[in-house]
Chain A
């Protein structure tokens, strides 16, 4: 007797949903996290220089001039989002001066097949196109 397929399992050809991953970390660690995210099939990343908003009194108390931060944006496939957040959570705890905040925002739409496949890191798409340049 054939086994029944579990319910709610996406078909292999169903398009993957995408999420916008936002990561806020100390600027000194931005480059590390950019490399780290690339290991999770995140092909598009944007990095912005930013600053924290701790008030002046608190900064004086801590002996800091300004809290230099970086905001990293990346587009991640829904099925990898959980892995990325778990891995980031571990890094936040393990890495010296590597504390940060990460969250995902669901994306509603995008346009362009090639762009979508790029964001999904769908290598099979390249094979079907016969274009590996």
Chain B
């Protein structure tokens, strides 16, 4: 089941939210909201996999039309993914109703 909008959440190292938004805007995102967060990881797993999880994180929330979701996720993967210094991850959640976007967005019938 899919809806008209999706919420993309991108968690990345602090200081890279502008890079993420620049990438997302190119593919239809109109704006986003950034919150500070603190990352945690198992010290044993960090040592085992020889990776370091920076504790200073940013969480970028982007509300997008479903048709733009895949393109934006791909753009985020390229611009701020695990191979970049931002070491970001991104995922999306279904949004079944939204208000305040400046259009008649309330009546969102699930599409097949």
User: How many Å lie between the Cα of A85 and that of B107 in the bound state?
Assistant: 12
- Enumerate B7-24 residues with CB–CB distance to A below 8 Å: 7, 17-18, 21
Q: Is the CB of B35 within 8 A of A49?
A: yes
With known contacts A53-B21, A71-B61, A48–B98 Cβ distance under 8 A: no
Q: Is the CB of B100 within 8 A of A89?
A: yes
User: How many Å lie between the Cα of A100 and that of B106 in the bound state?
Assistant: 15
Query: Which residues on the B side are within 8 Å of A103 (C-beta)?
Result: 5, 7, 63, 95, 97-99
Taking a contact as CB atoms closer than 8 A, the residue among B5, B21, B96, B100 that contacts A92 in the complex is B100
With known contacts A52-B33, A101-B63, A88–B100 Cβ distance under 8 A: yes
Q: Is the CB of A101 within 8 A of B35?
A: no
User: How many Å lie between the Cα of A29 and that of B80 in the bound state?
Assistant: 32
Query: Nearest CB to that of A23 among chain B residues?
Result: B100
Taking a contact as CB atoms closer than 8 A, the residue among A22, A48, A53, A105 that contacts B17 in the complex is A53
> Is A99 in contact with chain B by the CB < 8 A criterion?
yes
* B22 vs chain A, min Cβ distance (A): 8
A-B contact count (CB 8 A): 76
Complex interface bits, A67-108 against B, C-beta within 8 A gives 1, otherwise 0: 001010000000001100110110010000001111111100
Query: Nearest CB to that of A21 among chain B residues?
Result: B97
Query: Which residues on the B side are within 8 Å of A51 (C-beta)?
Result: 33-34
User: How many Å lie between the Cα of A101 and that of B31 in the bound state?
Assistant: 11
> Is B93 in contact with chain A by the CB < 8 A criterion?
yes
Most chain-A CB neighbours within 10 Å: which of B61, B63, B99?
B99
By the criterion of a CB under 8 Å from any partner CB, how many residues of chain B are at the interface?
A: 24
Query: Nearest CB to that of A52 among chain B residues?
Result: B33
Report A's interface with B, CB cutoff 8 A: 19, 22, 24, 48-55, 69, 71, 81-82, 85-86, 88-89, 92, 99-106
Q: Is the CB of A104 within 8 A of B95?
A: yes
Q: Is the CB of B106 within 8 A of A85?
A: yes
Q: Is the CB of B93 within 8 A of A105?
A: yes
Taking a contact as CB atoms closer than 8 A, the residue among B36, B61, B96, B99 that contacts A89 in the complex is B99
User: How many Å lie between the Cα of A43 and that of B60 in the bound state?
Assistant: 26
With known contacts A24-B33, A53-B21, A53-B32, A101–B99 Cβ distance under 8 A: yes
Q: Is the CB of A22 within 8 A of B7?
A: yes
Kindly list the 6 A-B residue pairs having the minimum CB-CB distance in the complex, ordered from nearest: A103-B98, A50-B35, A101-B100, A89-B99, A53-B32, A53-B21
